[in-house]
Amino acid sequence: MTTMLKRAAATQACMDRFAYKPVEPGVRDCGKLAAHALHKQGRSAKLLNASRHKTWRGALAYLKRTGFASLVDLIDAMGLERIAPAAALPGDLIALPSEEGDGFGCSLAVALDNGRVLALNRVSGLIEPMIPHMFVCAWRV
């Protein structure tokens, strides 16, 4: 299978598992979404999957326990190459700004196509395709 077909299959798997479903810490959150995208493209997501949290407080405790100041630092430690968000291909990870002072530093999203991402929507409480207007950074998967 060609690389773009693998990416398309991976993003479709993310859509099938997460799209339009409510956010639930430890089950359907941005870390689990990113880990699923990595797994579907044959990459290890051990740092993301190691957290067994059930609440946002538990997820923050995992970050602190492992010595990461933010989700950006955790993804950087996984060895993924940083890219410009505009250069993201389907299946790449994109960090979007999160609420000020939430402790995570960003919210992780999976690039889809035509500038869209699959990400947590704070307003609806669902994981949805959207077009972000601000970015923190992005990584090539």
CA dist 74 and 18 (Å) reads 22
Question: Residue 68 is which amino acid?
Answer: F
CA dist 107 and 20 (Å) reads 17
CA dist 109 and 94 (Å) reads 5
Backbone conformation region of residue 57, classed left if phi is above 0, alpha if psi is from -120 to 50, else beta: alpha
CA dist 35 and 31 (Å) reads 6
Summarised one tens digit per residue, pLDDT across range 28-64 is: 999 999 999 999 999 998 888 888 889 999 999 999 9
What domains appear along the chain, each with residue ranges and CATH number? 3-140 (3.90.1720.10)
CA dist 66 and 96 (Å) reads 22
Confidence band, pLDDT 50/70/90 cuts, at residue 1 = low
Which pTM value belongs to this model? 0.93
Summarised one tens digit per residue, pLDDT across range 80-131 is: 999 999 999 999 999 999 887 788 989 999 999 999 999 999 899 999 999 9
